Amino acid sequence: MKLKFKFINSAMACLVIMSTCVISTANAGIIIGDKEWMQVTDTSNFSWNDFDAIFDTASGQCDITGCLLGGTIDLTGYTWADNSSVNDLLISYSLTGFSSLTGNNYVPYGTDSLDAMLSDFAPTNSSLTWINLIGRTRNQTATTSYGDVVRVASPKSLTGIDRAYIDTNRNWINPVALRSSQAGGWLYKAAAVPEPSSVAIFALGIMGLASRRFKKKFK
């Protein structure tokens, strides 16, 4: 019986070690399906032109050696998302994609909530009444003087009016040369295929040895 408890203790220790490995991998980015998204806030205070200087707007791929945003942030391996990719991201959170526009107003999601998305992505701006996540995409819907942004907005005190939509021609955020601390970029890279770490393999080995000893004891 004493050996049985030793086996259980060993197994629990291994599970803790393995869980730590899984958590540290997940914290590397926001993994949704086959994409690993960068926090939008990691690239705030850069203009649409700053992103355009290193990314190809047709493919979203980096088209310069080094791929340094503003000469400081290494974005090697990342893709600058288009509106369609961000729409797919919204759908992955069980939303209907972008909010539809009726007249001059965007239709809220109603009973659907942005809580899950905003628990993964840090907001770029939080006012007294709204929590905003604003990121630049590589699209230019209005004119070449404006770059698109996708705004994810949730009120602090009301429910049922969460919404996400594309801004194309607002002077406070869309001019291509404008840098704003309220907006970053929507960027993703291919999610790495999880591989068992040496620590996890070692933990499984200990569990196997403990199991053999347990079986021999009670044969």
For the chain, how big is the Rg over CA atoms in Å? 23
- Picking from 39, 213, 203, the residue whose alpha carbon sits closest to that of residue 119 is 39
119 phi, psi to nearest 5 deg: -85, -20
Note the pLDDT tens digit of each residue in 92-145.
Answer: 999 999 998 887 788 898 888 899 999 999 999 998 899 999 999 999 999 999
Amino acid of residue 63: D
The share of the chain scoring above pLDDT 90, in percent, equals 61
What is the DSSP secondary-structure string of 121-156?
Answer: SPPSEE-SSEEEEEEE-S--SS-TTB--EEEEEEES
pLDDT in tens, 49-96: 999 999 999 999 998 889 999 999 999 999 999 999 999 999 999 999
pTM: 0.76
How confident is the model at residue 128, as a pLDDT? 85
168 vs 12, residue with greater confidence: 168
Q: Give the CA dihedral 24, 29, 32, 37, nearest 10 degrees.
A: -170
Highest mean pLDDT (candidates 143-147, 189-193, 208-212): 143-147
